[in-house]
Amino acid sequence: MIDAPRIGIDAINLLGGGGRTHLIELLGASDPARHGFSKIIVWGCPDTLEQLPCRPWIEPRPVRSLSDATIFHRSFWQIASLSKEAKRAGCDVLLVPGGSFFGSFHPFVAMSQNMLPFETVERARYGWSLKRLRLTLLHLTQRSTFRRADAVISLSGHARAMIEAVPGIASDRITIIPHGVGTRFHKAPRISGDMPAGSLTLLYVSPIEPYKHHDHVIAGVARARKDSGRDLRLRLVGPANLVRRQALRGLMQRFDKAGQWISYAGPIPFDQIDREMKAADIALFASSCEACPNILLEYMAAGLPILSSDRGPMPEITGEAAVYFDPEDEASLAAALLRLVESPDLRDRIAREAHGKAREMSWTRCADDSFSLLVRTARTR
């Protein structure tokens, strides 16, 4: 039996977003004495590895040739080199957070962090495009990876059900380990006495993508403004490509010609997101396709009243600590928003319950569960 396994991590495809955040936080909470491993070796692009925490048991191994490579080049490197590298480094188990693995190394644990490849309706929102083709290819590669994996980590019950629907994936190899939330996001719950008497600011942090439904969000908030007569303001934060940014600007011009109540900040550094939450009165999340959205957990920790999509894992995560709406129905969003706006008691209850739930979602717990699975997989194999 292996006493203290060496863990390898394939971070080649973690180029940003929630996957990179997960890896940074997971390694930050790692502890060989607590978790029973001896060393962690991480292969990745230099800009990813530079953001990892410095620990004596973490050894970054940059693959500089892949810094600006396409997904096909990264996949070829996986096939040709990663398994050999992991064996040469003496790894006893390999973690694949990106969800796709083409090598021969065993045992390996794959993570499912992206539901877009597994939801046909959501993929179809991209029309006939390279993005949709890429998602279709990811569906094929991740389906194959999960079938071959010695264990699979899903982030929620919803995500697990989607993976279990794929033929050939044994349910007993799937373990649910949700994300955690950073301590810097934890703030005292926002109560109505802390909010301005006149205007209320809704914060929506999300990339501008079809399944995030910014068009329905803007139309719904505009409708709620008209129906209530309240000064409701919408703050949008997140990256967008040129086409989607222009479409968003068109929506803003259509509904808010004077630029009085909609503002778009674009992408902002991750270490500034908590400042945006501090300035907000209500948190909004309108996605229809998620595994376990980091931002929703961060909203909860920030003690904000939450207005959430009723799709995917969102009701599973927030429970009664949110008011829900159909993200593709602006009337549904407007009605849910008015419930929050018109009821200070409801806002207070949701903020307190969400904050309480978030206190149970630490990265320490995520690390404990993740490394326990990795060590157990190494020893069993």
Domain of 285, CATH number, reads 3.40.50.2000
Amino acid at 315: P
* pLDDT at position 14: 82
Using CA atoms, how far residue 203 sits from 155, 180, 269, 374, in Å, is: 24, 21, 16, 37
Pair 211, 300 in one domain: yes
* pLDDT at position 80: 83
Residue 27, domain extent: 6-180+362-380
Pair 166, 196 in one domain: no
Pair 15, 62 in one domain: yes
- Quickly count: other Cβ atoms within 10 Å of residue 27's Cβ: 22
Q: Which residues pair with 139 in a beta bridge?
A: none
Pair 128, 202 in one domain: no
Instruction: Say what the pTM is.
Output: 0.93
Pair 148, 208 in one domain: no
Pair 28, 114 in one domain: yes
Q: Where is 157: in which H helix or E strand? A: helix 157-164
* pLDDT at position 82: 92
Cα R_g (the chain), whole angstroms: 21
Pair 123, 187 in one domain: no
Pair 282, 368 in one domain: no
Sign of the torsion formed by the C-alpha atoms of 284, 188, 354 and 195: negative
Mean pLDDT by 10 residues, the chain (381 residues): 88 82 94 95 91 94 75 78 94 95 94 94 94 93 94 96 88 93 89 68 97 98 94 96 96 95 94 91 97 95 96 96 97 97 93 94 95 95 68
Q: Total structural domains in the chain?
A: 2
CB 23 within 8 A of CB 60: no
User: Mapped to the 3 state alphabet, what secondary structure does 39-98 carry?
Assistant: EEEEEECHHHHCCCCCCCCEEEEECHHHCCCCHHHHHHHHHHHHHHHHHHCCCCEEEECC
* pLDDT at position 69: 62
Q: Does any domain span residue 62?
A: yes
* CA 166 – CA 318 distance, rounded (Å): 27
Pair 206, 127 in one domain: no
Pair 148, 212 in one domain: no
* CA 291 – CA 155 distance, rounded (Å): 6
Q: Does any domain span residue 1?
A: no
Using CA atoms, how far residue 228 sits from 63, 119, 338, 357, 358, in Å, is: 56, 36, 7, 31, 31
* pLDDT at position 65: 73
